[in-house]
Structure 1
């Protein structure tokens, strides 16, 4: 087993918007890709803001109720125990819709050297 990289803070588009803890960052067996795992807390009635990732996101809701809109797809109602995936470079938004903090654990398979998240304007239909 390989020890995870240090938990040093990496800044990206979501820094300061949500409480996020980078759990681990490791080189992937796929050249040019890193595996990054992040624990995110979304306060009640708060949204992440529309953003993209330079690779796949595979997530799991640990606590709370989160509405996830991925691209043009209908909103997903997610609760503790639900998983979700987001394709690379697809704008999406997560919003806590419950009375308590939403907590999710996401694993990203991202292009090396790029920020894990980049903010984007909301699509016209979401405004």
Structure 2
């Protein structure tokens, strides 16, 4: 294997461990949920931020726990759909072709519908911070 491929594989593996999973109804293990995330690209910037593009496959009837990120999350629904809660905003029903933005450090969650949902998200995060902090409801 070439060096670039090995570095990309190691980076992807380490990021998958660092990206928290969805809490599902019915409950799935964190390891089972982690398999549903793919880091498509990550770019570090000298200004203290990192951009991360993540494809997430959310199982039917799963719900993310209440959480926040140290930066902006922009999500685009590729297929499926569900409800997005963002503190201070009305709940939004999202379907394929729709996008939403979650401001930095804003509590939010996504509850999937009765079919699998695929989301492509772009995160612009502060470097060196946990990508997600779980919050108590």
Answer yes or no: same fold by TM over 0.5: yes
Return the index of the structure with the highest Cα Rg.
2
| Partner in structure 1 of residue 27 of structure 2 | none
Alignment of 1:62-101 (within 5 A): 62-97=78-113, 99-101=114-116
- 1:26 matched to 2:43? The reply is yes
**For residues 6-29 of structure 1, what are the alpha-carbon distances to aligned partners after superposition, in whole Å with 9 as ceiling and x for unaligned?**
223323362424521111111136
Taking the TM superposition and a 5 Å limit, the aligned residue runs for 1:39-50 are 39-50=55-66
- Alignment RMSD, CA only? 1.9
Stretches of structure 1 that go unaligned for 5 or more consecutive residues are: 123-127
Higher helix share: 2
Q: Using CA pairs under 8 Å that are at least 6 residues apart, name the structure with larger relative contact order, 1 or 2.
A: 1
How far is the alpha carbon of 1:65 from its aligned partner? 1.3
Report Cα offsets for 1:35-82 as digits up to 9, x if no partner. 011111111111011111110011100010120000131110000100
3-state SS in 1 of match to 2:18: coil
Using the size of structure 1 for normalisation, the TM-score is 0.83
Tell whether 2:14 aligns with 1:9: yes
